[in-house]
Amino acid sequence: MPAIRFRSALDRISSYRPTEGANGAAPPRPLSANETPHTPLPGVVEAIAAAAASAHRYPDAWCRELSRSIARAHGIDTDRVLVGAGSVSLLQALFQAFGEPGDEVVYAWRSFELYEELAELAGLRSIRVPLDDAVHDLPAMADRVTDRTRLVVVCNPNNPTGTVVGHDALRAFLSRVPETCLVALDEAYIEYTRAPDAARGRELCEEYPNLVVLRTFSKAYGLAGLRVGYLLGAADVVAQLDKTCLPYAVNTVAQRAAQAALGLQAELAHRVEATVAERTRVRDALLARGWCVPDAQGNFLWLGLGAASAEFGRWCMSRQIAVRTFAGEGVRVTIGLDQDNDAFLKAVADWGDAPESAAPERGGAAAEAAKR
């Protein structure tokens, strides 16, 4: 039988391997996937159960009720909202909207690893701009935008380093990007952000019609298992992106659960505040031990361990703590339940001193690795 000839891009993409400990599998302390440790908000499970009764029907292809609620929450028209099966499917829609020969996408590195794969699949050339001390280097990114650039992705807060870009810095960046080039702000963790000067993406959308903002119900809202996210942007941009989405992608159960969760802002804020307080506690404990941890604005911390990353990841695993390891660069640890965070701090204490790459003098391991 002749060998099946797939697109050569597939050879450059590795199969997605879920992080160890995700999906509820062992080990028991799941700090690897940036999930909330809280079960769905009150009433959400009931909304899910009720929606199951209509499983013999196709879902609302336009997610009308949910889109209206999201639009109302942001004070914008419904035609500026696009709901998708997780924000990754909207990211895919974005990347799929470009990709003529020679088209380029600019994003920071290290950032969300999926950007690289989506670029390959879309046939876009990736321009990866190294982080500057774990933070997006927006001036350097603007320098790399040319007339071939169709898309720029800014992850804010950045996964995995947790840092944010400032509002004025992002505005200055947007003023340098041609209006023909789309900029996507991935705000998967924005609910956890407390930096007073952090970029307010939605506001900047009013000023820059080439800016879209991505949000998700997977992280703070606690619905990772149901796959719902959304995009906010100019109506004509939304209409174009909609064409690249599969119809009926967001099922009824997910739509109703997101709708219910959206109405529970007070309870959500309460949970998010608890995670933010834990983030401060865990980070302060690490700083006190001499570790360098970038300013964390998501529900996770970044340890720039450099060459010691894999060994540290295995050390955590041996203590039944799943963390996300980026070999040669660093380790990302999710803020989980208090007792799981305590177990992590204990593991750190038993590990010994912070390696040089994660100590304050350097801390640039991620930036070093990004120069590869």
Ligand X SMILES: *Cc1c(COP(=O)(O)O)cnc(C)c1O
Residues at the contact surface with ligand X, assessed by CB under 6 A: 34, 86-88, 112, 155, 159, 186, 188, 216, 218-219, 224, 229
Residue 334 beta carbon to ligand X: minimum distance, rounded to whole angstroms: 11
In the complex with ligand X, the residue whose CB is nearer, 33 or 354, is 33
Judged by beta carbon, residue 84 or residue 99, the one nearer ligand X is: 84
Q: State in angstroms the smallest separation of the CB of 140 from ligand X.
A: 20
How far, CA to CA in Å, does 170 sit from each of 139, 154, 237, 245?
Answer: 10, 9, 20, 28
Question: To the nearest whole angstrom, how small is the minimum distance from the Cβ of residue 2 to ligand X?
Answer: 37
Quick one: 205 or 348, whose CB is closer to ligand X?
Answer: 205
Minimum gap (Å) between residue 285 Cβ and ligand X: 24
CB of 83 or CB of 292, closer to ligand X: 83
List, in sequence order, every residue forming a beta bridge with 215; answer none if it has no partner. 230
Least distance (Å) from ligand X to the CB of residue 309? 19
CB of 191 to ligand X, least distance (A): 12
User: Can you give the length of the chain in residues?
Assistant: 372
**Which residue's C-beta sits nearest to ligand X?**
86
Least gap, CB of 157 to ligand X (angstroms): 9
Closest to ligand X by CB, 256 or 347 = 256
Nearest distance from residue 34's CB to ligand X, in Å? 6
Nearer to ligand X, 153 or 276 (CB): 153
| Shorter beta-carbon distance to ligand X: residue 117 or 354 | 117
Instruction: Give whichever of 106 and 155 is closer to ligand X, judged by the CB atom.
Output: 155
